[in-house]
Copies of this chain bind each other. A is one copy, B any other.
Amino acid sequence: MPIKIYLAGPDVFLADARGVGAQKLEICREFGFEGLFPLDNDADVGADHVKIFRANCSLMRLADIGVCNLTPFRGPSADPGTVFELGFLFALNKPVFGYSGSATDYIQRVPAVVIPAGEPDARPWDPNGHAVENFGLGDNLMIVQAIEDSGGSIAVVQEKAGPAGGESLAAFEAFRACLEMIRERVSRGRR
């Protein structure tokens, strides 16, 4: 039985979500894995958000491993649907890996951060007066550390900016790098 990997990510919001999903499933097969793609765009599930939610939770329960596309989505952080799924998979004790098309730290993606001068221990702030995490991590600490504590890792390959300035959301190169990490981890575990 191949290892089953749940493919969390904002890929479901791409214009070609089904095509991108099919490509990622094919890449999983190349690596000897079975990918499980979220059913947001599945004809059987339709546009019923309750069905989509429950179908995705069932798929996650079936999975051996989670892989989360953490490429920033509509702000400095990963897609919240994806982050929900990370929390769910982590609580079920499944190893979770991540990948991102953005190689920047979280703090670099928050606009207009103010770093208090001459106070090395002071926290940076955003223009709304909210503290900005400054741990040298790619996203919110709960996201990064959950992956670490689950036994997973995050693969990062910077995407070229798209026409609207954002990174390409599918992040295929980082996805392949992530599956490569998982393959190495699995073969080390078997030796």
Partner of A75, one of B77, B133, B146: B77
Asked if B146 and A84 make an inter-chain contact with CB atoms under 8 angstroms apart, the answer reads: yes
In angstroms, how far is the closest chain B Cβ from the Cβ of A164? 5
Asked if B54 and A142 make an inter-chain contact with CB atoms under 8 angstroms apart, the answer reads: no
A118 on interface, CB distance cutoff 8 Å:
no
Chain A 78-111 near chain B by CB (<8 Å), digits 1 or 0: 1111011111111110000000000000000010
A131 on interface, CB distance cutoff 8 Å:
yes
Q: With A49-B135, A52-B141, A80-B139 given, can you name 19 additional A-B contacts, CB distance below 8 Å?
A: A10-B130, A13-B130, A14-B130, A15-B125, A49-B137, A49-B144, A53-B149, A54-B145, A74-B75, A75-B75, A79-B140, A80-B80, A80-B83, A80-B140, A81-B141, A84-B142, A88-B88, A88-B91, A90-B91
